[in-house]
Amino acid sequence: MSKLTKRRGFTLVEMMVVVAFIGILMTTMLINYQGTMKKARDDRRLADATSIKQAANMYADRTGSYPSTGGANDVCSHLSGGTCSAANCGGGGAITTWAGLTTSLVDFINLGELKDPQLGTADRCYRYRSNAGNCVIGYYSEAAGAAKTITCK
């Protein structure tokens, strides 16, 4: 009779099952992480746009009107860096640039500190438009895959 020796360790099949399971878990975690990061960047954009809105409302309370861009055109943050589409950027009223808006709202907010979380990516900027009676602030939403706006009033 021969004595059977007991082997210690894992079989190749067991190891492959464990590696496959870990791979599936990592893939699921990565997908969830990317979605969470998109939402966090969108939340930051909304918070920045809301801050601009509050500053514009305080300006309007003080002066009786919003800083005007002429109503038809936007002023866009970081346009000179090529990170925002130039379409309809340039203002047309008293405010013709983001720097002009920054000067108008200097008592209420430092617009220089507001930068899109993905600065450097196309169309990742903040937009402001006003006809003096109301204003609209725009930003890009990754979750929606499109521009979003909030109004001042």
60 within some domain:
yes
113 within some domain:
yes
- Band of the pLDDT at 102, cuts 50, 70, 90? confident
1 within some domain:
no
pLDDT at residue 93 in the model? 61
CA 126 to chain centre: 9
63 within some domain:
yes
- Band of the pLDDT at 147, cuts 50, 70, 90? confident
Residue 87 has pLDDT above 60, yes or no: no
Contact 52, 110 (CB under 8 A): no
pLDDT at residue 26 in the model? 94
75 within some domain:
yes
94 within some domain:
yes
Q: Which tokens belong to 75?
A: 């002023």
Average pLDDT over residues 99-114: 86
Q: Whole-model pTM?
A: 0.74
**42-52 pLDDT, tens per residue?**
999 999 999 99
Q: Which of 20-24, 32-36, 48-52, 129-133 has the lowest mean pLDDT?
A: 129-133
2 within some domain:
no
C-alpha to C-alpha distance for 29 and 152, rounded to whole angstroms: 38
108 within some domain:
yes
Name the domain count of the chain: 1
pLDDT at residue 118 in the model? 77
What DSSP element (H or E) covers 148? Answer: strand 146-151
Is residue 74 classed as helix, strand or coil in its secondary structure? strand
Full residue range of the structural domain in which residue 85 is found: 12-151
Indicate the average pLDDT of the chain.
Answer: 81
